[in-house]
Structure 1
Amino acid sequence: MNEYYHVPVFDSYRQQPPAGQFWPGYPGGPFAGWARRIERLERAVERLDRRLDRVESRLDRIERRLGLS
């Protein structure tokens, strides 16, 4: 048998791969949750951006009402 060729055993797909031979974001790896965390942060930034827009428009209305602008 060639030592460079890996013959998968019946249930090898269930086993956790060793970290060294896989990219950093493979499931169960050290960076597996990063994509999820980044998406959550992006949604939070969008939500805060919308809130800031509402606050700015409210402030503009108040300034116009007071004659400050």
Structure 2
Amino acid sequence: MYSHAIHAVSASPADVWMIGDSKECDCDGPTAFGMRGFWLDRQGRSTHSSLDQFANGVLGVCL
């Protein structure tokens, strides 16, 4: 899945970020593939608990 997605947009794994609410599918899998994976856990068990918090902390922007 990750290979298909990066080839579809002509990117390399190192240039792609993925964020989602599944630690395994949105963080661990992409990281193992060479992408930057971020786990957004609304229960507060990860560094990122909201998309706004992620954008402020990682990207330095407000949504």
- Would the TM-score normalized by the shorter structure come out above 0.5? no
Higher percent of residues as strand: 2
Q: Which has the higher contact order (CA 8 A, sep 6+)?
A: 2
TM-score, scaled relative to structure 2: 0.18
Larger Rg: 1
Higher percent of residues as helix: 1
